[in-house]
Amino acid sequence: MQYISFVNTVTEYTQYSQLSGILSRGMYLIASISGVVIALLWIPIAIGFFSTDENKKFVAYSRAKSAALGTFIFILAVTGAIYGVFNFIITGN
């Protein structure tokens, strides 16, 4: 009986570790994709800074402020900080 219990425990642990590995690889994949998307969205703004036209530089500067704020909010959302702040406001914990 002890042997069967040990085998069940090892099997459940192996299944859990496989699932944990799949989830961690999925999180790395999601983080990589979101990093690429953010980088692609910043490219037009960066190109505007190297323009010789002053109007394009000004527009790029104003877009950079908005993009930086959006990136900061995205990072807070991904890390769960927004959930923590709202949870603290609502529940006080």
> Residue 29: pLDDT band by 50, 70, 90 thresholds?
confident
pTM of the model: 0.59
For residues 12 and 73, what is the distance between their CA atoms, to the nearest angstrom?
39
For residues 37-65, give the mean pLDDT. Answer: 88
The pLDDT assigned to 69 comes to: 92
- DSSP code per residue over 34-52: HHHHHHHHHHHHHHHHT-S
For residues 71 and 63, what is the distance between their CA atoms, to the nearest angstrom?
12
Number of structural domains the chain divides into? 1
> Residue 17: pLDDT band by 50, 70, 90 thresholds?
confident
For residues 65-85, give the mean pLDDT. Answer: 85
Range of the domain at 76: 2-91
Question: Token pair of 78, please?
Answer: 């991904």
Q: Judge whether residue 8 has pLDDT over 60.
A: no
Indicate the DSSP class of residue 86.
H
